């Protein structure tokens, strides 16, 4: 600050002398020229410092910039782009009720196929055709939809909207139809020394073999956990708010494997628990947040007449 005030005072004194008709000596003029140069330099430094402070750049960084604004700007931190959330959808090849199909002919999906000796994820093109729905349509109407694909095989399900999907073989730990009754578990070896487990809990009126569903299961729940078994997560729970609620058919595990290629387990469940259609749910480990082991990524709701 003192360096700035001194040349300013000197310059003011020189200008007052000029107004009075005095002629400054040559040495004084040279001094004033030097002062003007110094003052201009100080002003430039102050501008750079003010710019740096406004942009959050430290004095050390500005000194390294050697007075060049372009280099000072480069020192600004680059913001991290926000992660785009995946919007996952699942669908089946076949006939659907009105409002169940949200795709059009020519769009690409990924199908999970069971080949001779392995499961494989393959990209397919879908064809969507209007069909007559016997439950909802009047004569001549075609509000239903038929979804077909450009492969002869039928996939377990179609999926899209997940950036991690890659065509090729998919590690599979289980496929079939597995229902777990209270007290039963299903264990899966995901890696060397790494195990996952699905466990069922609830109360049954009869404990004899073959009579687990006689009278219905009360307070049924299905949990997934992972070694070393310090963490678990609910996958399904019976609605206990309804008086006398009973469950006669537990949810079905259809497939367990590593669909999203993150070396963890993903699940595909059919949550139908009676004669009425249920909901098919895809759980993905790569989308899990917080205390989740898997995330409820997508679902397909079954309908009936």
pLDDT in the model for residue 248: 83
Same domain, 63 and 90: no
* pLDDT over 60 at 159, yes or no: yes
The domain of 100 spans 82-170
* pLDDT over 60 at 237, yes or no: yes
Structure tokens at 99: 């409002």
Number of separate domains in the chain: 3
Residue where a domain terminates, one of 17, 48, 74: 74
Stretch (H or E) spanning 37: helix 26-55
Same domain, 62 and 118: no
Same domain, 116 and 206: no
Same domain, 179 and 304: yes
Residue where a domain terminates, one of 74, 98, 123: 74
Q: Is residue 243 very low, low, confident or very high in pLDDT (cuts 50, 70, 90)?
A: low
Q: What is the number of other CB atoms lying within 10 angstroms of the CB of residue 85?
A: 9
Same domain, 177 and 166: no
Same domain, 298 and 188: yes
> What's the order of all strands across the beta sheet hosting 218-226?
185-191, 194-203, 218-226, 231-237
* pLDDT over 90 at 147, yes or no: yes
Same domain, 190 and 278: yes
Q: Is residue 249 very low, low, confident or very high in pLDDT (cuts 50, 70, 90)?
A: confident
Same domain, 86 and 205: no
Same domain, 194 and 260: yes
Around 233, how many Cα atoms within 13 Å sit in the side-chain half-sphere?
18
User: pTM, whole model, 2 decimals?
Assistant: 0.70
Residue where a domain terminates, one of 170, 193, 212: 170
Task: Classify the phi-psi angles of 100: left when phi > 0, otherwise alpha if psi is within -120 to 50, otherwise beta.
Answer: alpha
Q: Is residue 273 very low, low, confident or very high in pLDDT (cuts 50, 70, 90)?
A: confident
Contact in structure between 303 and 100 (CB atoms under 8 Å):
yes
Same domain, 176 and 305: yes
Rounded to whole angstroms, the Cα distance separating 281 from 295 reads 10
Measured CA to CA in angstroms, residue 194 lies from 197, 208, 219 at distances of 10, 34, 30
Same domain, 226 and 140: no
Same domain, 136 and 86: yes
Rounded to whole angstroms, the Cα distance separating 18 from 30 reads 15
What is the tens place of the pLDDT at every residue in 165-182? Answer: 999 999 999 999 999 999
């Amino acid at each position: 600050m003192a360096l700035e005030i001194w040349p300013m005072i000197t310059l003011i004194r020189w200008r007052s002398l000029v107004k009075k008709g005095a002629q400054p000596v040559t040495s004084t003029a040279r001094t004033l020229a030097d002062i003007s140069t110094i003052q201009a330099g100080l002003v430039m430094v102050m501008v750079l410092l003010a710019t740096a402070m406004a942009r959050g750049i430290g004095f050390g960084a500005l000194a390294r910039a050697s007075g060049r604004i372009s280099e000072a700007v480069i020192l600004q931190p680059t913001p991290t782009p926000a992660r785009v959330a995946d919007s996952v959808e699942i669908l089946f090849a076949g006939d659907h009720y009105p409002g169940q199909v949200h795709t059009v002919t020519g769009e690409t999906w990924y199908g999970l196929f069971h080949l001779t000796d392995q499961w494989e994820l393959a990209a397919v093109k879908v064809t969507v055709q209007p069909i007559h729905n016997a439950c909802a349509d009047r004569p001549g109407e075609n509000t239903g939809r038929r979804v077909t694909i450009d492969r002869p095989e039928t996939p377990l399900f179609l999926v899209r909207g997940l950036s991690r999907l890659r065509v090729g073989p998919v590690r599979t730990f289980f496929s079939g139809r597995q229902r777990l009754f209270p007290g039963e578990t299903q264990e899966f070896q995901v890696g060397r020394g790494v195990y996952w487990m699905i466990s069922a809990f609830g109360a049954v009126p009869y404990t004899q073999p073959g009579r687990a569903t006689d009278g219905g299961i009360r307070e049924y729940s299905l949990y997934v956990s992972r070694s070393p078994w310090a963490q678990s997560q609910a996958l399904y729970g019976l609605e206990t708010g309804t008086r006398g609620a009973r469950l006669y058919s537990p949810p079905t595990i259809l497939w367990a494997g590593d669909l999203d290629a993150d070396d963890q387990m993903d699940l595909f469940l059919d949550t139908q628990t009676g004669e009425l259609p249920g909901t098919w749910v895809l759980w993905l480990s790569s989308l899990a947040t917080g205390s989740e082991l898997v995330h409820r990524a997508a679902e397909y709701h079954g309908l009936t007449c």
